[in-house]
Amino acid sequence: MRYYRDLRPTFEDRGDWALPGVLRHQAERRPDAVWLDVPEEARTWTFAQALAAAETVGRGMAACGALPGDRVLIVAGNSSGFVRTWLGCAMAGLVEVPINTAYEGDFLAHQVRTVHARYAVIDDVYAGRFVQIAAASTDIEKFWVIDTGSRDAALETLRSAGWEATPWEDLEAGASGDGHDAPRIAAQDDHPPALPVVRPRDLGSVLFTSGTTGLSKGVAMPHAQMYFFADLCASLTRLTPADAWMVVTPLFYGNAQLMAAYPTLVAGARFVLRSGFSARDWLTQIRESRVTVTTFAGAMINVIWQQPARPDDADNPLRCAVAAPSAPTIQQPMKARYGIEAFVEAYGLTEITTPILTPYGEERPPGACGLQADEWFDLALVDPETDEEVRAGGTGELVVRPKVPFICSTGYYNMPDLTVEAWRNLWFHTGDALRRDEDGWFYFVDRLKDKLGRAGENISSYLVEIAILSHPAVVECCVIAVPGETGEDEVMAYLIVQDDVTPEEVWEWCDTRVPDFAVPRYLRFVADLPKTPSQRVQRNTLRAAGVTPDTHDRG
């Protein structure tokens, strides 16, 4: 039986597992090395400058009355302002609550009500959304507004609604005037507020789940968990101070902040922050910023693959890509085309970090998502109805518990009933069906709520999706169950394609890649898929639509 045992924590003393200590350590050890690189702002910070920025913002918030443990909403796009807010909250012992910038109305109101935040840092373009949900925002005492072009109008909007609102720059008085250096600690106050000692067990963040089947849940993350998330990812990618990790996904997602940005802080590497993803510009950005590590999320890998190939595609510094999930059949061609040394994958959730990982550069069995990090986590596969372990080799719900304090979530913020349900019998229940082979490799089968049955067989919608996504013309795919005439499920696939593809071509593709009983009977080609604001496919919406007149039926 094999296990993942590559992790040797960068900071051996678990008492150091909190962001303020990590940042201070790097600022002392490599003060002049560049950490943050924001090309669209023409801005770079060294580790020492990042520390100065964080302390400035932290003291600025404390001077306004923010107390350790207070929640601070962050509703902003990728920018140095977001980074400074994140770090500043940590330095002051405040709890960052990053909010998806697509949220408005009831989606936003639910999260605001749940955390009872006293403060909010927002881009100016989002001010009107808070006015629309004013009844849910009565706990907010003050807004700091980041200028993206309409700051004055946003300040007036918020003030007219009765809130105190000031420019974000008020937190960093004394900043240098050239726009390129990090802020300096304000000199006008001879006695700035002292920054607290932040412990690993202290709450550092509340990250909300996507809420595909109900209200999103705020995952309460102590600093030790956030650190451990980052160190696992640094280990997974073999990150060193010589590396640069490019982030193109929003920082309000854990996969950007905790699994890309924070690992660079732990490892002393460079963090390249882009405002968003562009398939057309992706390779140019890799080259211009000398990027060695990046992350593929969602359909990114498929969209990049479908860009016109050039003879010099492999002429770039990229050595490692984090890609989960992605079709195994596309990884080898991507490695060859772009000269990528390793694709690495991990299985994890915001609540539990990543207890299953793949050793760097190792060819794993087809479909495997990794090995158990057994020095840090207990794992079991159980019957979801009884919580009894399934037989060896069987499929069951993955349940997880940590072996080290505070490396997993402490629960769902202000949702005690859901916390008890998810952590019942002293295990966290992932809601995912997995199996494990005799060598120790885990295989993701499906979300329990997405499993379907046909011809007496259980079918993994995930594995059917992976097979269809391996077709070079398919950009996105979602497989669902629809009612059949016999009372069993029928398999239906929704597809977004780039080229002209016939249903017959898709069926023929599936015939050689999935069992007969799993080949979709129904295919529907669409321009887009209904998604939550966090870009998770709303499968319930697709199920409710059922078989439509434009659906292709194989019969």
Q: What is the CA radius of gyration of the chain?
A: 24
pLDDT of amino acid 474: 92
Neighbouring CB atoms inside 10 A of 381's CB total 20
What phi and psi, each to the nearest 5 degrees, are found at residue 217?
-110, 135
pLDDT of amino acid 117: 97
Backbone region of residue 174 per phi and psi (left: phi > 0; alpha: psi in -120 to 50; beta: other values): left
The pTM for the full model equals 0.85
- Give percent above pLDDT 90 in the chain: 77
| Range in 157-161, 207-211, 264-268, 530-534 with the lowest mean pLDDT | 530-534
pLDDT of amino acid 544: 87
How far apart CA 51 and CA 312 sit, in angstroms, is 39
| Range in 227-241, 365-379, 417-431, 534-548 with the lowest mean pLDDT | 534-548
- What angle do the packed helices 503-511 and 461-469 form, to 10 degrees? 110
pLDDT of amino acid 197: 97
**Mean of the pLDDT values across residues 416-421?**
96
- Give percent above pLDDT 70 in the chain: 94
Per-chain mean pLDDT for the chain: 91
| Range in 13-22, 200-209, 212-221, 306-315 with the lowest mean pLDDT | 212-221
CATH topology of domain 232-446: Rossmann fold (3.40.50)
What phi and psi, each to the nearest 5 degrees, are found at residue 355?
-80, -5
pLDDT of amino acid 466: 86
Q: Which residue has the higher pLDDT, 434 or 513?
A: 434
Our measurement of the distance from residue 283's CA atom to the centroid of its chain's CA atoms, rounded to an integer in Å, reads: 22
13-51 pLDDT, tens digit each: 999 999 999 999 999 999 999 999 999 999 999 999 999
Confidence of residue 104 (pLDDT cuts 50, 70, 90): confident
Confidence of residue 486 (pLDDT cuts 50, 70, 90): low
How far apart CA 184 and CA 51 sit, in angstroms, is 10
Closest to 103 in 3D by CA, of 211, 204, 205, 258? 211
3-state SS of 461-501 is HHHHHHHHHCCCCEEEEEEEEEECCCCCEEEEEEEEECCCC
How far apart CA 251 and CA 309 sit, in angstroms, is 30
pLDDT of amino acid 467: 86
pLDDT of amino acid 463: 79
Backbone region of residue 146 per phi and psi (left: phi > 0; alpha: psi in -120 to 50; beta: other values): beta
How far apart CA 224 and CA 221 sit, in angstroms, is 8
Beta strand residue intervals within 39-113, DSSP E: 43-46, 71-75, 95-98
Checking if the pLDDT of 245 tops 80, the result is: yes
Domain with CATH 3.40.50.12780 in the chain: 232-446
How would CATH label the architecture of 454-553? 2-Layer Sandwich (3.30)
How far apart CA 242 and CA 231 sit, in angstroms, is 16
How far apart CA 447 and CA 397 sit, in angstroms, is 9
Domain with CATH 3.30.300.30 in the chain: 454-553
CA torsion 273-277-281-286 (nearest 10°) is 40
**Mean of the pLDDT values across residues 527-531?**
91
pLDDT of amino acid 327: 63
**Mean of the pLDDT values across residues 453-479?**
85
DSSP code of residue 364: P
What does each C-alpha distance from 364 to 145, 343, 371, 435 come to in angstroms?
47, 11, 10, 15
pLDDT of amino acid 188: 42
Burial per residue of 79-109, b for 16 or more beta-carbon CB atoms within 10 angstroms, e otherwise:
bbbbbbbbbbbbbbbbbbbbbbbebbeebbb
H or E element in which residue 293 lies: strand 293-296
Pair of tokens at residue 108: 């936003």
Enter the CATH code of domain 41-198: 3.40.50.980
| Range in 310-314, 345-349, 442-446, 459-463 with the lowest mean pLDDT | 459-463
Domain with CATH 3.40.50.980 in the chain: 41-198
How far apart CA 117 and CA 392 sit, in angstroms, is 47
Checking if the pLDDT of 181 tops 50, the result is: no
Closest to 147 in 3D by CA, of 45, 77, 58? 77
Give the length of the chain: 555
